[in-house]
Amino acid sequence: MAQVNDYTLLLLKLKIKTSTSELKKALTHKSFYKDERGQHNSRYVFAGMYAFKGLVAEILYHYFPLDGTQLQHALGNLFKPEILDRIFVYYDLDKLIRHGIEFDAAKHRHIFVYGFLGYLFANAPEEIKKDFIQQHFLLPNSHLFTFDEKKQDLEAQCNVLARMLYHKNVQVRMQQTTDKLWQTIVSLNETCLANETSISYRYSRKKTLKKALIVLSQQAQQADHLSENYELHQQLLEEKRMQKTQQEKEKKLAAYKEKEAKKQAKRKEAKEKMENMKRLQDIKRKQAKSNAKKRKEEKEQQEARFAAQMATMSANKRRHLQDKQK
């Protein structure tokens, strides 16, 4: 079962300043309790499946130039089991979840991920939720948002990435040079992303936007590394890995010591049993020897008494008793 520190580390990773009790509740299946009155995650699962998914749908509606059917398909693809499973593994939820013995958590990881998403919906600030959606749903799955190149929608693609990364659209400026060539400049926050020149107006624009899209895609891939808390996250992960390694070593050492202690206890028990058997045998032997000696003494005393009685008798009476004994 997870320690309180594990929940605290996850809150630090998420940059959420709340207590660990609600997070623990969000990762606790109702099978963990014997009755329905326990603090399980069913409400959080509902919030994750519908309320949090609604946040993603809202972002798709505002920032992606797709029709309704395409948006619906994109939303469904973003919540596929493999994507939810990736979130489960990324945050090491297998060490934090709680459930009953008979509940197969490996086959129902999505339940705990939805509970986790419901917790984020209810407790995380808006910026944290947007960053989470960007990091785990939008950027890793940009291939799901296809655009029709025939409609020259490259600028829209650039704007999607620019809004996710910097909350602004790109600026496309075209001008004709003295050589009567068309020059296209794509910039963002007064920084030039790409600059190309061609005799063709369309080719200049298309080539520049393609290069700008590549630059933004590379920046999106590095977004997590550029975050101000990246080093802290890596440090926490390294500390957690070291802690896990140390715990495994201590667990193995404790198991070895327990095994040796059991062996030693068995050897001691066998030795004591053998000594007890020897003591009992000695006692029985001494008792038998004592009884034999006592019987011998009693027999000698009886013979001595009989001899004394015989000595005091007359010859006829003594002969009569001897004949009788024969």
Count structural domains, the chain: 3
Identify whether 232 is part of a domain: no
> What residues contact residue 321 under an 8 Å CB cut-off, 6+ apart?
310, 313
Q: How many angstroms separate the CA atoms of 175 and 180, rounded?
A: 9
113 shares a domain with 162: no
> What residues contact residue 125 under an 8 Å CB cut-off, 6+ apart?
16
142 shares a domain with 73: yes
128 shares a domain with 5: yes
88 shares a domain with 162: no
83 shares a domain with 159: no
CATH number for the domain spanning 182: value is: 3.30.160.20
> CA 125: distance to chain centroid?
25
Residue 151: what pLDDT?
45
9 shares a domain with 71: yes
Q: How many angstroms separate the CA atoms of 241 and 250, rounded?
A: 14
Residue 63: what pLDDT?
78
The one-digit pLDDT tens for each residue of the chain (326 residues) are 455 578 999 998 888 888 889 999 999 999 988 766 668 999 999 999 999 999 999 988 887 777 888 889 889 999 999 999 999 999 999 999 999 999 999 999 999 999 999 999 999 999 999 999 988 998 877 666 654 444 457 888 888 888 877 888 899 999 988 888 999 999 998 899 999 999 898 899 999 999 998 888 878 766 555 454 555 655 666 777 788 888 888 988 999 999 999 999 999 999 999 999 999 999 999 999 999 888 888 888 888 887 777 677 667 776 766 676 65
100 shares a domain with 193: no
183 forms beta bridges with: 175, 197
